[in-house]
Copies of this chain bind each other. A is one copy, B any other.
């Protein structure tokens, strides 16, 4: 952490530490769904959300996954093309799509879920339950600070919008 002298050093800069942490952790998971099923991160997250709740609209997927609607739209299109997701127009509002996984999509998730859970376990290996709870709690507080900062300086900014920088 940069001290009161406020000397800047990249290797002590908190957002940089977060980025390295994120890069390392995400790599352990993304390689699984990418190598096994050629899934992008947005496709994986879309399927993960639909695995829990169905049917959902694209907007609901956006809300439950913190992804940008453009990325959700593209993920839906490619998952549909690959036969992993089916799409029906909502008769009560024909702008809206009702989305659910196909049988094939569900089989993919049945195979992937144990693998990604095992990867998660390896990430957290050696940490006690208390430490994990502490880490998640501290991350949440920082995230809330960040959202407050982003909201203060850009009133129109959607909080589901994604950025990939630090």
Contacts and interface: CB of A to CB of B under 8 A. Distances in A.
Interface of A: 1-2, 6, 8-11, 13-31, 34, 40-41, 45, 48-49, 51-52, 64-66, 113-114, 116-117, 119-120, 122-127, 129, 131-136, 138-143, 145-147, 149-150, 153-154, 162-166
Contact of A120 (B14, B40, B141, B147): B14
B45 A29 contact: no
A148 to B, nearest CB: 8
A110 to B, nearest CB: 10
Given A10-B65, A133-B1, A146 B123 contact: yes
A138 B134 contact: yes
A17 B132 contact: no
Nearest to A66: B20
Contacts of A132: 1, 14
A26 B127 contact: no
A26 B15 contact: yes
A14 to B, nearest CB: 5
B142 A8 contact: no
A28 B123 contact: no
Contact of A25 (B2, B18, B49, B135): B18
Nearest to A39: B165
A35 B29 CA distance: 32
Contact of A136 (B17, B124, B136): B17
Contacts of A25: 14-15, 18, 142-143, 146, 166
